Structure 1
Amino acid sequence: MRANRRRTAAATSALLAGVLCAVPAAAPASAATEYGIDVDTAAAGPQISDRMYGIFLEDINHAADGGLYAELVQNRSFEYSTADNENYTPMTSWEEVATGNAAGNAKVVNDDGRLHERNRNYLRLALPADGGEYGVVNSGYSTGITVSEGKRYDFSVWAKAPGRGATPLRVRLRDAQGEPLAEPLTLDADERGWARYSGTLTASSSSTTGRLAVTGSGGGSLSLDMVSLFPRDTFKGRENGLREDIAQKIAALDPGFVRFPGGCLVNTGSHEAYEGPDWPRERSYQWKDTVGPVEERAANHNFWGYNQSYGLGYYEYFQFAEDLGAMPLPVVPAMVTGCGENRATDAPELLQRHIQDTLDLIEFANGPADSAWGSLRAEMGHPEPFGLTHVQVGNEENLPDAFFERFAKFRGAIEAEYPGITVIGNSGPASGGTVFERAWELNRQHDVELVDEHYYNSPEWFLSNNERYDSYDREGPKVYLGEFASQGNRFSNALAEAAYMTGLERNADVVEMASYAPLLAAAWDTQWTPDMIWFDNSTTWGSANYEVQRLFSANTGDSVVPSTATGTPGAAGPITGAVGLSTWNTSAEYDDVRVTSAEGETLLSDDFSSGADGWTHITGAGTWAVENGAYVQTETTGENTMVTAGDSGWTDYDLEVTATKREGAEGFLIGFGVRGTDDYYWWNLGGWNNTQSAVERTSGGAKSLVVSDDTTIEAGRAYDIRVEVRGRDATLYLDGEKWGGFTAPTPEPFRQVVTRDERTGELIVKVVNAQGEAARTSIDLGGARVEPTAELTVLSADPAAENTADDRPVSPETSTIEGADSSFIHTFPAHSVTVMRLTPQD
């Protein structure tokens, strides 16, 4: 049992930093919906894994360099390149600096004089001989280097000064205006070749715009590499460590596991081995590049469009997991690309090398200190094994058959040598569709123990799919929900996720682990949103989503107590809205649009013989024109070119249209239930670069997949399309044949789950009320007697609220209520997540 499962009510209050006060039981509100929760306290539900909630740490949004990794110098080894980012050069974040009129020269060099074969570039300075100083200054990340008065900062550099005596190095910390932030540091570089020099700077004042200058004097040549500045105060005091405030934010989640290092950067790009100074810069993440002395580690192009130094490497990831008390979960390349790419590596020798690399990784983590790779771990400071139990092979592969062919070889080799290791598979990049279905079929065929699912869907999807895992096979593979998030950082997103998480816990016999993603984001350069924890150079803050994850992690419980709740009256409604036509990076033409009611009344008929005046172009993308009696979108660019016609109040109708693809990457998009630019369904025929077709639902601007298959679209061929809408049901026909259909899921704003803390006996009642009315709720504990005083922890805010660097409107408040009993009434606020801890009577 993990520590957070044992937490008392008082400890939970302290963790969540709430405001403790005694308040009377909530009175019925005038605008409240009536609910009931029945708890079967005599029944036993499934056990909940000690690692139910964990974290997924990928270097996206500058999560590592410039973020969690505490190094303050950007581009410390002059390795930045246009291969990383078109705006990068080896001198990115560096400028030349001189005292007075001193003359010098700075040149980034890539030759045999380098520090290490993997550390390709270094800086060569020609120094002035007239007593002046010349060198370079680094501006850090974003606005500059953040320092705090009285804090110590550890400087180091690798330097060589060939053919001469000692060369004085002067190290200074200044702000953007040139004002000193610390007393200068003087070091002497000698002529013994590359050597590491270090010292400590103590900040005399605070700044967020610091600059680090390194200069030399006395003439001759001075070479520099690995120019570094670390705060002395890192997480757990680790050398080459982690930024303390960000790491503490993560630690507050009390994660059960840490998945690393990706994500898309694991299995995209080249899989080639290191081949010397000119090896490919767009390589997959390979663990052997990231261990050993920091100055000997490679730098690499990051899939997300910047450089990664590998200063935060596999050793540091394992160490961080250990410091958190969490299970490490590394992910290795499967030799099949994912994340939008469709390519499998066929070279047998390369495949075998990666399989051996994975076996070596397990030895690095678990092998004795005198084994080949265990000895490296010991040399790095950790003679004891890390206790690795799980390895994931691959991530979001779009070619499930090719993936499983290779996955089976990885798993076979791992289980033969390390039978105690669990090898995790995956199901592709979405919550459904042809890749997902085929991947799950193969996972079952191969008796995979744990399957990683990923999906990023709309809040409406999460509110509508709480029962997703109710129907999963209890005898089949278990689920690791490795990446999930609703598409936004507003409190409404967090509410939808909380509602969904009650279903994860209720199905704890199927769902073993879950992790929100992405974890971290630099406010100054973000490649993906939403994100759980945000930071700038001096501050970190948890999003509304973070507060939900922290609340659930602190109050998971050990086992589920079966319970049921009444639904929200009127939550279900028909598919309602106008019709639409659109394209995605494709030119297409449409003709003979006809909409008729279920009773046969003509609502719309347009053959475009008289133009297209009845249609409104609502997105601005693309160019529409009537050509030869058809309505044509003429451009092959533009990701949504939608035009609409009709009444937003339409329901129970048939839509018919003839569509022809002219040219471009995809097919065509037929909209129905269109209620605005961010609220509609569309039938996406020939989507995803013409690899599949699907119905997608857009709500609040966020898309979710409803149903899909592998239909593709031919250019130049006319297709007859028919969509029948009846209430919440839609049936779709292509060329007279039924393509598929669905019943629109019902968003349910009121969700609950009850669990038990086995140490204290407490019942933990988690209730999500994601609507604008309070929920007056009768709670029946089936005769179980509890103490009248109960603790509440509540997140409640405007649904549009977002936490920022300066404002935290979404934060927990803790209080007590009186009047709890075997049956009692409590009113849950509108737009709220509530944890109620009920203590059993002796």
Structure 2
Amino acid sequence: MSLTRTRWRLGLTATALLVASTVLSGPAPASAAADVTDYAITVDPKGSGAKIDDTMYGVFFEDINRAADGGLYAELVQNRSFEYSTADNNSYTPLTSWAVSGTAKAVNDDGRLNARNRTYLSLDGGSSVTNSGYNNGISVESGKAYDFSVRARADAASAVTVTLQDSEGTLAEARRVTVRGGWAKYRATFTATRSSTGGRLTVAAADPVALDMISLLPRDTYQGHGLRKDLAEKIAALHPGFVRFPGGCLVNTGSMRGYDEASGYQRKRSYQWKDTIGPVEQRATNSNFWGYNQSYGLGYYEYFQFAEDIGAMPLPVVPALVTGCGQNKATDDDALLKRHIQDTLDLIEFANGPVTSEWGKKRAQMGHPKPFHLTHLEVGNEENLPNEFFARFQQFRAAIEAKYPDVTVISNAGPDDSGTTFDTAWKLNKDANVDMVDEHYYNSPQWFLQNNDRYDAYDRNGPKVFLGEYASGGNTFKNALSEAAYMTGLERNADVVKLASYAPLLANEDYVQWRPDMIWFNNHASWGSADYEVQKLFMSNVGDRVVPSSATTTPSLSAPISGAVGLSTWATTAAYDDVKVTGADGTTLLSDDFSGDASQWTHTGTGSWSLQDGQYVQTDEAATNTMVQAGDPAWHDYDLQVKATKKSGKEGFLVAFGVKDTGNYYWWNLGGWNNTTSAVEQAVDGGKSTLISKAGSIETGRAYDIDIKVRGRQVTLYLDGQEWGSFTDDRPAEPFRQVVTRDAKSGDLIVKVVNAQSADARTAIDLGGATVGRKAAVTTLQAAPDAVNSETATAVAPVRSTFAGVADRFTYTFPANSVTFLRIKRK
């Protein structure tokens, strides 16, 4: 997971317009000529396009948005082992999520449960502790069984009473256990007498007792393997070809050293697989990069097991000793590097080794003597230091290929779709003949509609692409449509793009660090987003080979870039002066030296602007997107000149042009991404995408001369009189995209069409002489562009029908704002 676009991801909250989709039993009737656009699709049934692997589409799991503890991992007790600490989160204590009645204290001494589970609870007689769960309460369902367990010890026999209740009273009959002697595991089972989402688990002691690992798990979990059933079933229903795990930013952030059992293991560590296997009470806990703790109850063994349960290829990611996600540090410790390389070799042995091997034996002891058939493994995640990363990656790769030549070792291209890091990484990977490169990007819907042909020009003999993370910045149907349009290009280029996964997978609506997300949930329900429905439709109808086809398209953009101008900052204070906008004919459109007032400027963002010493200054260092704007949205073909000085803060400054409104503009982001990169970003309806970027930083206290020349669709940028870069933004956001594939088993032609516009698309389809049946099975996703799915309403859902008008040449009208799959039988 990338932090490079956190600013717009966290800022986007789609307005939910729950609009019911229109049910169509065939071609949509044209309500008026103006509402229909004509297209043509030509298919070459005798041609042979790219082969599509069974593993083409998969899922990416990262413990973000409480996706693991409180999510896919079915444990209902939060902080069950009292290991929360202020070292992890300033608001944490060992009793976080616990309420105490009487006397209880967290203890870390020689009487602990084990070296990795260091803190336990000492509970006096007559005292109790109550846990509130992860999601504003523990959810139970009437008639369902829930298994309680606790590790406990007592110097003398102590009666422990366990109750499950909510504000209205008892949820299940109380259970009692008697604790005697040293640490041992005690069990009980509750059967819920009624349903509740606000349950509380209370453990009360009649006499002094020590407690640890207090657990409550539903008896009914997915395949009996401890995963929350509704979430696992929704993932399984996608029929993913692979599962990429465990991240994401949590893989390569924090300390790489692991725990130190003698002095207390280091916190805020990178995710290291050996911490996560074995008995759960002996697994290390860790501070998650996303601001909360991980119990590792969902560990590498469970990830492998889940992938096997849903018929998917496991694809783990290991750290390469170069941090990412804004940290950007390389670890120069040869012994530590060798240890991580050996850990990776041990991981492959854990997955594939015989039961007679050291790590294969550990797998067997956990209950899985058969190998997990690991074939792909990724080293590193979104490193923004490509040279440092690749030097270390090569050592991992050499060691893995020497011992396990059948395992594909995957590299990566950094955190963005373009720019200096991306270009450098790709050159290193290509020169070294790496098998596969992981690309990540999160862009606006417009970017996805504009870049369907991204992989058309990739080298067919170079490294293959793993598109490990992508999304369009929201969960409305408009976002899903743009992603569907883009996926037709992924399939067309399936000889280059071998694997692809939308990201992230899960989000707990009560703990959101990131949006958008594919599947949403709370403590009692889950629902698939519009993006989920698109992914499911594509994954369930992949086909085995692309059938060559072509379609009419939209002409390139010709109208000039137009809009007002703007100034902004991000987590920075900055001063601006001598703003001048000059038309191409030399006419002065705007001139402001801030010697008077700032009346020409409208404040549309956050922050605090004021005139100081003849400059316009933004003084709130914590504020983000502090935009002020001036001018006419109709301006075009102009020069924007301004002096900018960073005064303090994390980043540089932002100069905007082509400003239409608060969600639609371009800006030159100088010193962005924690003052490591400069880029031109385009915002469309609030979602941003990068048009050009370069590494670079901005100095505090130095005045910079900025000059932006806008001519038609071309923009040239100058920094201190030197050309910094240029771009031409003339790609249309093509609303009509298609791809055709063949299903070898059924013989079906699968015509997949995305119509991401408000007009119906009346389409002449020429099957090139193919002999076909008269009927096609139709699956349609159609809704209003702003429609979203929620717990209580499914605005975006597939509608299945039959179309009886198929022939060698026929016409089909694809509804406005729709994704349509036609499965056509070949005779």
Matches within 5 A, 1:260-299: 260-276=245-261, 278-299=264-285
For 1:80, the aligned partner's letter is: Y
Counterpart in the other structure of 1:234: 221
**How far off its partner does 1:702 sit?**
1.5
**Of 75, 91, 94, the match for 2:79:** 75
Preserved contact between residue 160 and residue 224 of structure 1 (Cα < 8 Å): yes
Counterpart in the other structure of 1:91: 95
**How far off its partner does 1:29 sit?**
4.0
Counterpart in the other structure of 1:685: 670
**How far off its partner does 1:278 sit?**
1.8
Preserved contact between residue 802 and residue 808 of structure 1 (Cα < 8 Å): yes
User: Are 1:169 and 2:160 counterparts?
Assistant: yes
- When the two structures are aligned, how many residues end up with a matched partner? 804
Preserved contact between residue 554 and residue 732 of structure 2 (Cα < 8 Å): no
More divergent stretch after superposition (743-752 vs 381-390): 743-752
For 1:200, the aligned partner's letter is: T
What is the alpha-carbon distance in structure 1 between the residues aligned to residue 131 and residue 696 of structure 2? 54
Cα pair distance change 1:717/1:802, threshold 3 Å: same
**Of 244, 248, 252, the match for 1:259:** 244
What is the alpha-carbon distance in structure 2 between the residues aligned to residue 152 and residue 718 of structure 1? 68
Cα pair distance change 1:489/1:24, threshold 3 Å: closer
Unaligned 5+ residue runs, structure 1? 1-17, 98-103, 129-133
Instruction: Give structure 1 regions of 4+ aligned residues with deviation exceeding 6 angstroms.
Output: 18-22
Matches within 5 A, 1:693-704: 693-704=678-689
What is the alpha-carbon distance in structure 1 between the residues aligned to residue 92 and residue 725 of structure 2? 49
**How far off its partner does 1:592 sit?**
3.2
Counterpart in the other structure of 1:27: 29
**How far off its partner does 1:637 sit?**
4.0
Counterpart in the other structure of 2:205: 216
**How far off its partner does 1:704 sit?**
1.0
Normalising to structure 1: TM-score of the pair?
Answer: 0.93
Cα pair distance change 1:431/1:394, threshold 3 Å: same
Counterpart in the other structure of 1:8: none
User: Are 1:52 and 2:56 counterparts?
Assistant: yes
Counterpart in the other structure of 2:772: 786
Does the residue aligned with 1:654 lie in a helix, a strand or coil?
strand
Does the residue aligned with 2:484 lie in a helix, a strand or coil?
helix
Preserved contact between residue 45 and residue 767 of structure 2 (Cα < 8 Å): yes
Preserved contact between residue 88 and residue 293 of structure 2 (Cα < 8 Å): yes
For 1:228, the aligned partner's letter is: S
Residue by residue over 1:147-201, the C-alpha shift from the partner in whole angstroms, topping out at 9 and shown as x without a partner, is 1111111111111112x2x432222221233x2222222222222x111111221
Cα pair distance change 1:431/1:22, threshold 3 Å: closer
For 1:203, the aligned partner's letter is: A
**Of 193, 197, 200, the match for 2:189:** 200
**How far off its partner does 1:570 sit?**
7.7
Preserved contact between residue 22 and residue 817 of structure 1 (Cα < 8 Å): no
What is the alpha-carbon distance in structure 1 between the residues aligned to residue 216 and residue 455 of structure 2? 48
For 1:285, the aligned partner's letter is: Y
Does the residue aligned with 2:336 lie in a helix, a strand or coil?
helix
**How far off its partner does 1:332 sit?**
0.7
What is the alpha-carbon distance in structure 1 between the residues aligned to residue 701 and residue 88 of structure 2? 40
Cα pair distance change 1:126/1:658, threshold 3 Å: closer
Cα pair distance change 1:624/1:466, threshold 3 Å: farther
Preserved contact between residue 607 and residue 618 of structure 2 (Cα < 8 Å): no
For 2:148, the aligned partner's letter is: F
User: Are 1:721 and 2:706 counterparts?
Assistant: yes
**How far off its partner does 1:758 sit?**
1.0
What is the alpha-carbon distance in structure 2 between the residues aligned to residue 693 and residue 656 of structure 1? 18
Matches within 5 A, 1:169-568: 169-177=160-168, 179-191=169-181, 193-217=182-206, 219=207, 221-238=208-225, 241-276=226-261, 278-568=264-554
Cα pair distance change 1:717/1:82, threshold 3 Å: closer
**How far off its partner does 1:831 sit?**
0.8
What is the alpha-carbon distance in structure 2 between the residues aligned to residue 779 and residue 596 of structure 1? 50
Preserved contact between residue 366 and residue 386 of structure 1 (Cα < 8 Å): yes
Cα pair distance change 1:24/1:686, threshold 3 Å: closer
Normalising to structure 2: TM-score of the pair?
Answer: 0.94
Residue by residue over 1:706-759, the C-alpha shift from the partner in whole angstroms, topping out at 9 and shown as x without a partner, is 101234333444433322222222122223332211111321111111111111
Preserved contact between residue 23 and residue 799 of structure 2 (Cα < 8 Å): no
Residue by residue over 1:467-510, the C-alpha shift from the partner in whole angstroms, topping out at 9 and shown as x without a partner, is 11111111111110101111111111111111111111111111
Preserved contact between residue 26 and residue 801 of structure 2 (Cα < 8 Å): no
What is the alpha-carbon distance in structure 1 between the residues aligned to residue 22 and residue 31 of structure 2? 23
For 2:202, the aligned partner's letter is: A
User: Are 1:149 and 2:142 counterparts?
Assistant: yes
Cα pair distance change 1:139/1:22, threshold 3 Å: closer
Cα pair distance change 1:20/1:768, threshold 3 Å: closer
Counterpart in the other structure of 1:767: 753
Unaligned 5+ residue runs, structure 2? 1-19
Matches within 5 A, 1:582-661: 582-625=568-611, 627-628=613-614, 630-661=615-646
Residue by residue over 1:622-679, the C-alpha shift from the partner in whole angstroms, topping out at 9 and shown as x without a partner, is 3231523x43334544222222111101122222233333444333222110011111
Root-mean-square deviation over aligned CA pairs = 1.9
Preserved contact between residue 139 and residue 523 of structure 2 (Cα < 8 Å): yes
More divergent stretch after superposition (630-639 vs 670-679): 630-639
**How far off its partner does 1:686 sit?**
2.4
**How far off its partner does 1:256 sit?**
0.4
Preserved contact between residue 152 and residue 179 of structure 2 (Cα < 8 Å): yes
User: Are 1:707 and 2:692 counterparts?
Assistant: yes
What is the alpha-carbon distance in structure 2 between the residues aligned to residue 737 and residue 57 of structure 1? 44
Cα pair distance change 1:785/1:74, threshold 3 Å: same
**How far off its partner does 1:24 sit?**
4.7
What is the alpha-carbon distance in structure 1 between the residues aligned to residue 622 and residue 511 of structure 2? 26
What is the alpha-carbon distance in structure 1 between the residues aligned to residue 516 and residue 565 of structure 2? 30
What is the identity percentage for the equivalent residue pairs of Structure 1 and Structure 2?
Answer: 62
Counterpart in the other structure of 2:9: none
For 1:355, the aligned partner's letter is: I
**Of 37, 40, 53, the match for 2:41:** 37
Counterpart in the other structure of 1:160: 153
Preserved contact between residue 20 and residue 816 of structure 1 (Cα < 8 Å): no
What is the alpha-carbon distance in structure 2 between the residues aligned to residue 21 and residue 597 of structure 1? 51
Cα pair distance change 1:417/1:778, threshold 3 Å: same
